[in-house]
Structure 1
């Protein structure tokens, strides 16, 4: 089904990204890293990917005492991994989860040294396990849109620039609000205590972050807007999981790497779901890729793809397959057939996505 609407720029928009060390992004990253490692194990041991979904990671914040120049951990954060998985034969399941979770945490938050990992993953139900070879394991929604607009591209770009400032931690959050031509950016950045010896140093880091943003965009920029005289975003590790905030899989960025409430979004947690028949992951990737290809067709300003599965049905036969096109002129019949063919081709190529998932090449957060 194809629907055509005339393209009309938004009068205002809101775009958000939670950075690499944000608690929710960390939970997503751990979920996906475990799924990737399980998939590799399964392929090596059994020649196929077995049932699993580890998309229920919760990070509970710890407690620290932080001061300029350093600090200490009072109670480390705890990462609780829930979900279902078939136990591999070559390594204890809990040990695998602890190893992979630790690797991801340490790679993502380089000043994090103390934490706990609590694995509560158990075998899946026979009904869901049996669906691995029969069809979709859930009735779920996948959505995708293209292209990214300038505000969305900016928000994606800013994270790496911000983290490049000396003293900035990995826990960042950028909220962009555009009203007409005016752009407002509210930015939160965990400042690492060992890089700042005084309040003056802290303010200098904030100002350097602000200047770094203004080098690439003309906007009203507020950095760590909640700071008071003594209550500031100063951290030992560079992430608020040390004391300030908890995290959970699925509460952060969508598959685009952004949170875009002005665009269609699925509330599915993409990270940690198996790449063989879990449509909560697969359909979001397929919809996004199809939308990007459709958006390249002449006359298409924006493309939106929506896919809805039916549990047990073949993944190539969604309950709903819909495309919304926005442009100045409705595509001709032959172009509409081309658009339908794009969606069909991406659905038929679902099996080819497994290799990319296992290689960790597909963005899920």
Structure 2
């Protein structure tokens, strides 16, 4: 069923208060999400290469347990590595042929760590604990049924929207800047564990940023606060250059710091992530698939990262709903905003949801009746191309964390 109607709620940009969060590359929750999804991509590609099809797997249960380090100004040492637990289900053999699942899984995890966390050695600083087993007969049976489109392996709902609000864009672009190659070249003493919380109150924007400085590059408390001031100044300049639509935009950086307290009053890190000794991470506690945690929006509760890309609607519909909302706004004149909600029924083909529901924010003077047929055509076109979309998910073409 496909339903299109006007959005009658209070648009987030018209609410006085808006709160938006983003967890960056080195945040423990983000690490879990990104590693688990990179594992799903690696398994999907291995299954495709060996069997020409993607087999059942869900690598959407993961825990990064914090390690222990000893820090000092100018350096420190790792006392106990972080432990990454990787779970849930995978296909280990088919037609008598074994798949080296454990090697693929650990290899993908180490590759992601090497490519994204500059100071974490995946061999020395992380231990790996695998809790993987074959799936149930009924769920794995979905993959042997005929047809180019799989049946949904869950009854699940997802919601996506477009466009981002100015607050959401500011939070997203600031974190991406802080973890960009340009910024890390300017400030190599900064770690990857970035968290940005945005608060808009009327036309005033406050951004609170947490990002550690690397102990080996900071030789004293005085140097820490000097570098902190330079970094905060660069953040303000970045916001002045690219943050539009606010009367005032302020940034607050590492607000727990307290001068005169030595190591207990500064945010130092040995490896660039708080998972080294302060904070553990878990799949599903990080960003939604559009890269944000938008407190004032309708959001789904599924952890998309690591789910298989051809039958698990917890991934497919989460990404597709945002993509549909964007396509509606980009291609249908008169629509300035869209929410798309998708609901599956377990066993039904993923291109035939139980409900596809679009809520439209219209331009002044325009009505839903004028555009309903176009919106339906956009959504139906996306469903008809879902097999290709799922293969794109399987090769990591869409960011889900």
Smaller-chain TM-score bracket: over 0.9
Which residue matches 1:268? 302
| 1:10 CA drift (Å) | 2.3
Which residue matches 1:298? 333
Kept after mapping to 2: 8 A contact 1:4/1:330: no
Which residue matches 1:115? 126
The DSSP-based 3-state class of the residue aligned with 2:284 is coil
Which residue matches 1:169? 191
Which residue matches 2:114? 106
The DSSP-based 3-state class of the residue aligned with 2:62 is strand
The DSSP-based 3-state class of the residue aligned with 1:216 is helix
The DSSP-based 3-state class of the residue aligned with 1:211 is helix
| 1:357 CA drift (Å) | 1.8
- Aligned partners of 2:345 and 2:231: how far apart in 1? 47
Range moving further from structure 2, 131-140 or 51-60: 131-140
| 1:151 CA drift (Å) | 1.5
Runs of at least 5 residues in structure 1 that lack an aligned partner in the other structure: none
Name the CA shift for 1:154/1:162 in 2 (closer, same or farther; >3 Å): same
Range moving further from structure 2, 326-335 or 271-280: 326-335
| 1:20 CA drift (Å) | 0.5
Kept after mapping to 1: 8 A contact 2:193/2:212: yes
Which residue matches 1:252? 286
The DSSP-based 3-state class of the residue aligned with 2:335 is coil
Number of aligned residues: 365
- Aligned partners of 1:286 and 1:234: how far apart in 2? 39
Which residue matches 1:5? 7
- Aligned partners of 2:368 and 2:85: how far apart in 1? 53
**Which of 144, 149, 159 matches 2:160?**
144
Kept after mapping to 1: 8 A contact 2:197/2:209: yes
Kept after mapping to 1: 8 A contact 2:92/2:101: yes
- Aligned partners of 2:226 and 2:119: how far apart in 1? 21
Which residue matches 1:240? 274
| 1:227 CA drift (Å) | 2.0
Kept after mapping to 1: 8 A contact 2:29/2:281: yes
Kept after mapping to 2: 8 A contact 1:162/1:212: no
- Aligned partners of 1:17 and 1:307: how far apart in 2? 24
Are residue 284 (structure 1) and residue 286 (structure 2) matched?
no
- Aligned partners of 1:17 and 1:286: how far apart in 2? 21
Kept after mapping to 2: 8 A contact 1:101/1:117: no
| 1:91 CA drift (Å) | 5.2
**Which of 45, 54, 65 matches 2:50?**
45
| 1:69 CA drift (Å) | 1.0
- Aligned partners of 1:128 and 1:329: how far apart in 2? 49
What is the Cα-based RMSD across aligned positions, in Å?
1.6
The DSSP-based 3-state class of the residue aligned with 2:195 is strand
Which residue matches 1:315? 350
Range moving further from structure 2, 209-218 or 341-350: 209-218
| 1:361 CA drift (Å) | 1.5
Kept after mapping to 2: 8 A contact 1:64/1:72: yes
Which residue matches 2:103? 95
- Aligned partners of 1:177 and 1:17: how far apart in 2? 12
The DSSP-based 3-state class of the residue aligned with 2:132 is coil
Kept after mapping to 2: 8 A contact 1:166/1:205: no
Range moving further from structure 2, 128-137 or 187-196: 128-137
Kept after mapping to 2: 8 A contact 1:98/1:118: no
Deviation digits for residues 195-225 of structure 1 (CA, Å, limit 9, x no counterpart): 1111122112322221122113242221111
